Amino acid sequence: MASWTTKDIPDQSGRLAIVTGATGGLGLETALALAGAGAEVIVAARNLDKGRAAETLIRSRHPGARVRFDLVDLASLGSVRDFAERQLTSGRPIDILVNNAGIMALPQREATIDGHEMQFATNYLSHFALTGRLLPILIAGRARVVEVASIAHRSGSIRLDDLEYVQGYKPWPVYAQSKLAMLMFALELDRRSKAKGWGLTSVAAHPGAAATDLIANGPGPGSRLMAWGGSIALKLIGHSAAEGALPQVMAATMPSISGGQYFGPQGLRELKGPPGPGKIEPQALDADVAAQLWSRSEAMTGVTFG
């Protein structure tokens, strides 16, 4: 396992994969890896031009790849609903869902069109809604569902009394909470799948410290110096987006994975290195908080899992 690479991905021919945020960074690298192994890949993201560019890049790397862009804006629950309805209308079972898209550390509190705090909504809440809406065709495909978390979950806590930081907004604690929520979602989805016989394999992964455009896209124009400094630091202590994507690609494709597993880099403090088992912090294992978060998420999105 220590030397696992994209060459170890089993043949994915005939399988359908959806990757959110797949127009750049970890998502694009994940889409490239899956398409290269023969999967049909839906690049799910919000920017049409970047989506077309991602399609072109994937086909240039893997001639004959089956890849298409489909619009979804995770800052809009309506967009999530529309995307899911298109997939349900097609009736095609989903084999792999990688909930990858995310934003990081917006300096000021922003709200989505639905009125939800932007980081919590984009990173976690819309992925919860998307998974719930796709559930019939995920079950039909006995899908592998991968939630992309972060080493930031180590410092995170679920603030049940104010999940959306209406009071005391701080960029990094909000980001950490959103990524802890993603990990807890993976574990709770596994529990519910087993209890209800859905047949899903729900797992999570994190990239360590990967040099992507996430920081540059997060802090915004008022914090360009911080973004630049963060990017330099990542290059010094971390690894590339392609290397950072390996844990989630492993989670999506490696045979004999069990639900509830977590994957990350194997180097010092899981910052970089080849993919393998990741460390789950105790707060992520709190099943009572996870159940409360699930109930709140259903109420906030209007999506139930049946």
Catalytic residues: 175
Residue 171 to residues 69, 119, 205, 218, 270, Cα–Cα distance (Å): 31, 9, 22, 10, 23
Name the strand (E) or helix (H) holding 55: helix 48-61
Contact 245, 253 (CB under 8 A): no
> Residue 211 has what pLDDT?
76
Is the whole-model pTM more than 0.85?
Answer: yes
Residue type, 32: L
At residue 99, the 3 state secondary structure works out as strand
What pLDDT was estimated at residue 242? 94
pLDDT at 234: 56
CA–CA–CA angle 253, 101, 120 (5° rounding): 125
Side by side, the strands of the sheet bearing 262-265 are 67-71, 40-45, 16-20, 96-99, 144-148, 201-205, 262-265, 275-277
Task: Report how far residue 77's alpha carbon sits from residue 246's, in angstroms, rounded to the nearest whole number.
Answer: 29
pLDDT in tens, 194-243: 999 999 999 999 998 887 766 544 444 444 444 433 454 555 677 799 99
**DSSP E strand boundaries for the chain:** 16-20, 40-45, 67-71, 96-99, 144-148, 201-205, 210-211, 239-240, 262-265, 275-277
For residue 212, the model assigns a pLDDT of 73
- In the block, tokens 């797949």 appear at 22
Q: Are 77 and 130 in contact (CB under 8 A)?
A: no
Q: Which pLDDT score is estimated for 214?
A: 61
Are residues 125 and 297 in contact, defined by beta-carbon separation less than 8 angstroms? yes
The pLDDT assigned to 219 comes to 46
Nearest to 232 by CA among 248, 209, 257: 209
- Rounded CA gap, 83 and 73, in Å? 9
pLDDT digit of tens for each residue in the chain (306 aa)? 458 999 999 999 999 999 999 999 999 999 999 999 999 999 999 999 999 999 999 999 999 999 999 999 999 999 999 999 999 999 999 999 999 999 999 999 999 999 999 999 999 999 999 999 999 999 999 999 999 999 999 999 999 999 999 999 999 999 999 999 999 999 999 999 999 999 999 999 999 888 776 654 444 444 444 443 345 455 567 779 999 999 999 999 999 999 999 999 998 888 999 999 999 999 999 999 999 999 999 999 999 997
Position 106 scores a pLDDT of 97
Domains and their CATH numbers in the chain: 10-298 (3.40.50.720)
pLDDT at position 223 is: 45
